[in-house]
């Protein structure tokens, strides 16, 4: 298979800068042995973990707590055929400690929907990969 030189691998630090400017990402998990994708709003924590704010009975809590998942965020510019895609893979866990929860209430992501009770899900940044493409002539 021919290599497409238009794509370039992104280093970990460059990958971790991308999600900060993207409003929506996707959590990829398995459900009944099939891939399932869940669009989410999110933020990054100081240790590069991906944070989600949701309700206690939501899909992210029921489906991913304690499992390994992938999280993807993309930024594309169709006008000049450029962009980047980042995937963070790691174990997802509900934040249960009161100190951690209180900190995330102040600094973590806000849910786009009103919640009676907020639960935070943390996806560890165990593996971070990304690739970018740039330039108006890419793919021509």
Structure letter (DSSP) for residue 118: -
Residues 6+ apart with CB under 8 A from 69: 27, 28, 29, 89, 90, 91, 92, 123
pLDDT at 112: 86
Structure letter (DSSP) for residue 120: E
- pLDDT mean over 118-139: 82
4 pLDDT higher than 80: no
DSSP H or E stretch at residue 12: helix 12-17
118 pLDDT higher than 60: yes
Structure letter (DSSP) for residue 65: T
Confidence of residue 135 (pLDDT cuts 50, 70, 90): low
pLDDT at 140: 36
Q: Work out whether the CA dihedral 86, 91, 95, 99 comes out positive or negative.
A: negative
- pLDDT mean over 35-47: 92
Architecture (CATH level 2) of domain 7-130: Roll (2.30)
Q: What pTM, to 2 d.p., does this model score? A: 0.85
């Amino acid at each position: 298979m021919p290599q497409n030189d238009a794509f370039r691998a992104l280093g970990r630090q460059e990958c971790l800068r991308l999600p900060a400017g993207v409003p929506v990402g996707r959590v990829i998990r398995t459900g009944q042995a099939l891939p399932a994708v869940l669009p989410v709003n999110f933020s990054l924590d100081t240790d590069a973990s991906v944070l989600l704010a949701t309700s206690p009975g939501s899909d992210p809590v029921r489906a991913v707590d304690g499992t390994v998942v992938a999280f993807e965020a993309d930024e594309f510019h169709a006008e000049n055929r450029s962009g980047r895609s980042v995937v963070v893979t790691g174990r997802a866990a509900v934040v249960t400690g009161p100190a951690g929860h209180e900190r995330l209430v102040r600094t973590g992501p806000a849910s786009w929907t009103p919640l009676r009770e907020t639960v935070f899900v943390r996806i560890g940044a165990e593996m971070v990969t990304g690739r970018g493409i740039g330039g108006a002539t890419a793919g021509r």
